[in-house]
Amino acid sequence: MGFVEGLYHEVAQALRKLEEIPILESGVLPKIGVVELLKMALKNEMEASQLAALWMPSTPEIDIKLGLARQCGDEAKHYRLIEKRLIELGENLEGFSPLAMGYSPLYQWLVTLDNSIERVAAGPFAREAIAIKRNLQLIAVLEAMEDKESADLYRNQIQPDEDWHHNFGLTMLRKYATTVELQEKATLATMKTIELADELRTAAMAKSGACVIPGC
């Protein structure tokens, strides 16, 4: 098994615990509503877009730079799509800022990364792997809540981009993480991202009663 395949496998293992959604098994709908879930999503999309923008100018590899540029635009597009859905649901977003409560601990750590390999490992590769998994669960919950429009938005418009972001990270790791030292950096950055994302999930669930949280 090559380095990237090994790391991919490790991520899949680490994310396995996300598979347990007690709510769907027990048939009880979440305490939190669609509106709250989608507002949480806005914060994640904003942080993902801003992070890619922040990294782009200081990342020397042209293909990584351009991939980050695409991701920045995609996450901004997701923000607008989710915002539009919230308005359709009757939510007034005038004066709303997803950053009113500040940045997440994960974002605050991600911005400190200054090596391209660590960045693609933590951002596109790991954070997007988490996003894909969380969004799959979110789609299942949205369907259980009978909000087909929001589920379709995630399935048809958002998830294909998140898949692209993750595969971009994977391809860049395959291309650039070619030394033991870089591979170690990539592994540490990946695992730290999963750990911080998991802490956030636990905290968000405890605070809001959400059984799932959206990705980005």
Give the residues lining the site for Fe ion (CB under 5 A). 45, 75, 78, 128, 162, 165, 216
Residue 126, both tokens: 């790991």
Distances (CA, A) of 7 to 4, 60, 82, 179, 207: 5, 24, 31, 14, 32
Q: Looking at beta carbons only, is 30 or 215 nearer to Fe ion?
A: 215
Phi, psi dihedrals of residue 69, rounded to the nearest 5°? -65, -45
Any idea which residue has 């347990």 for tokens?
20
Rounded to the nearest whole angstrom, what is the least distance from the CB of residue 49 to Fe ion in the complex? 8
Rounded to the nearest whole angstrom, what is the least distance from the CB of residue 178 to Fe ion in the complex? 25
Give the residue closest to Fe ion by C-beta: 78
Rounded to the nearest whole angstrom, what is the least distance from the CB of residue 50 to Fe ion in the complex? 12
The SS3 assignment for 31 reads coil
Rounded to the nearest whole angstrom, what is the least distance from the CB of residue 125 to Fe ion in the complex? 11
Rounded to the nearest whole angstrom, what is the least distance from the CB of residue 159 to Fe ion in the complex? 9
Q: Looking at beta carbons only, is 159 or 183 nearer to Fe ion?
A: 159
CA dihedral 144, 31, 106, 71 (to 10 degrees): 30
Residue 38, both tokens: 């989608």
- 3-state SS string for 43-92: HHHHHHHHHHHHHHHHCCCHHHHHHHHHHHHHHHHHHHHHHHHHHHCCCC
Q: Looking at beta carbons only, is 51 or 182 nearer to Fe ion?
A: 51
Q: Looking at beta carbons only, is 41 or 182 nearer to Fe ion?
A: 41
Residue 121, both tokens: 């490992």
Rounded to the nearest whole angstrom, what is the least distance from the CB of residue 109 to Fe ion in the complex? 17
Q: Looking at beta carbons only, is 30 or 123 nearer to Fe ion?
A: 123
Q: Looking at beta carbons only, is 8 or 168 nearer to Fe ion?
A: 168
